[in-house]
């Protein structure tokens, strides 16, 4: 037990573990994540329904999307954005590695007679000859990635953009980092059975890495026959840092926004959004 508690409270090196695939592909937790996605009243795995409706309306208008426009939704989940973009007569490709989420998304597309190209893949490994007029990555997915993964992804975005195309994504802010505190929580069946269908003991340790403005929510799940850990990394940014990462990958940040619904930038908010395009000559 002592060794388990030592491991529970161990502060790992930044991005030393990457467990996103396990979270989204485990049969039990992926079902729980899908339920969060489909809860229209909360901002959990997805934005609340009202925000999504406003966001899609703004995206279609702001980027001048038409029936000829091609949009790639990186981390599309159950297709909440993809469905609404397709209803606006936009050609949509949705990428995700959650089998459960894509099964739901495809079923909904069939029910609603929507032509959406869903691809089950790790978007870090996605390759295609198709070019896109808009690439979106929503719900701060970018912040869960290590610096090397972010660089890989931004270079991929650059290669996938059509002439005049744009990237839209949101990130956590330094203000959010400053408001979070380190802490440790223990609870039987932590998060009301989210982590397993069987009884378990759950530990949540939150760590802050001030030198790189990084947060970690580290979950340790102790079941009768196994112990496992899930690492939820949350990279927080200043606007200049985002611009620098994009710039290094041939992309130029053109707009700084409060969110992906087009609201004004607020330096005190927990999140902000950016619009970027390929730099001239790249």
Q: Is the pLDDT of residue 218 over 90?
A: yes
pTM listed for this prediction: 0.94
Burial-class residue 200 by CB neighbours within 10 Å (0-12, 13-18, 19+): buried
What pLDDT is recorded for position 23?
79
Distances (CA, A) of 131 to 89, 174, 214: 18, 33, 33
- Cα torsion 24, 30, 33, 37 to 10°: value is 90
Question: d(Cα 243, Cα 252) in Å, to the nearest integer?
Answer: 7
Residue-wise pLDDT tens digits, 60-111: 999 999 999 999 999 999 999 999 999 999 999 999 998 989 999 999 999 9
- Among 45-54, 87-96, 119-128, 255-264, name the one with the lowest average pLDDT: 45-54
What band does 141 get if pLDDT is binned at 50, 70 and 90?
very high
Residue-wise pLDDT tens digits, 174-186: 999 999 999 999 9
Q: Is the pLDDT of residue 56 over 70?
A: yes
Collapsed DSSP state (helix, strand, coil) of residue 150: helix
What pLDDT is recorded for position 123?
96
**Which residues 6+ apart lie within 8 Å of 14 measured at CB?**
146, 209, 212, 214, 216, 233
Q: Which domains does the chain have, with CATH numbers?
A: 2-9+176-234 (no CATH), 28-172+238-278 (3.40.50.150)
Question: d(Cα 90, Cα 57) in Å, to the nearest integer?
Answer: 12
What does the pLDDT average to over 201-213?
Answer: 97
What does the pLDDT average to over 153-165?
Answer: 97
What band does 281 get if pLDDT is binned at 50, 70 and 90?
low
For residue 216, report the phi and psi dihedrals to the nearest 5 degrees: -135, 125
Q: Is the pLDDT of residue 44 over 60?
A: no
- Give the rounded distance of the alpha carbon of 158 from its chain centre: 19
């Amino acid at each position: 037990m002592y060794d388990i508690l030592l491991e529970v409270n161990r502060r790992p090196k930044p991005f030393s573990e990457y467990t996103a695939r396990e979270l989204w592909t485990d049969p039990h937790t992926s079902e729980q994540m899908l339920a969060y996605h489909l809860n229209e009243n909360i901002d959990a795995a997805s934005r609340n329904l009202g925000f999504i409706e406003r966001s899609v309306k703004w995206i279609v208008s702001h980027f001048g999307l038409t029936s000829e426009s091609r949009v790639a939704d990186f981390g599309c989940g159950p297709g909440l954005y993809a469905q609404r973009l397709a209803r606006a007569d936009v050609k949509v490709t949705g990428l995700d590695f959650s089998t459960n989420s894509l099964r739901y998304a495809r079923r909904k597309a069939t029910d609603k007679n929507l032509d959406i190209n869903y691809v089950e893949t790790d978007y870090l490994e996605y390759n295609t000859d198709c070019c896109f007029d808009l690439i979106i990555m929503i719900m701060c997915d970018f912040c869960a990635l290590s610096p090397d993964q972010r660089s890989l992804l931004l270079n991929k975005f650059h290669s996938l953009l059509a002439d005049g195309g744009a990237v839209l994504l949101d990130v956590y802010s330094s203000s959010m980092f400053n408001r979070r505190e380190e802490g440790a929580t223990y609870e039987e069946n932590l998060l009301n059975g989210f982590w397993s269908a069987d009884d378990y003991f759950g530990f949540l340790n939150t760590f802050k890495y001030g030198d790189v403005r990084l947060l970690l929510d580290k979950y340790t799940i102790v079941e009768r026959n196994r112990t496992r850990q899930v690492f939820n990394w949350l990279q927080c940014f200043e606007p200049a840092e985002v611009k620098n990462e994009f710039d290094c990958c041939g992309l130029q940040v053109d707009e700084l926004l409060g969110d992906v619904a087009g609201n004004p930038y607020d330096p005190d908010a927990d999140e902000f959004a950016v619009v970027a395009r390929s730099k001239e000559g790249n």
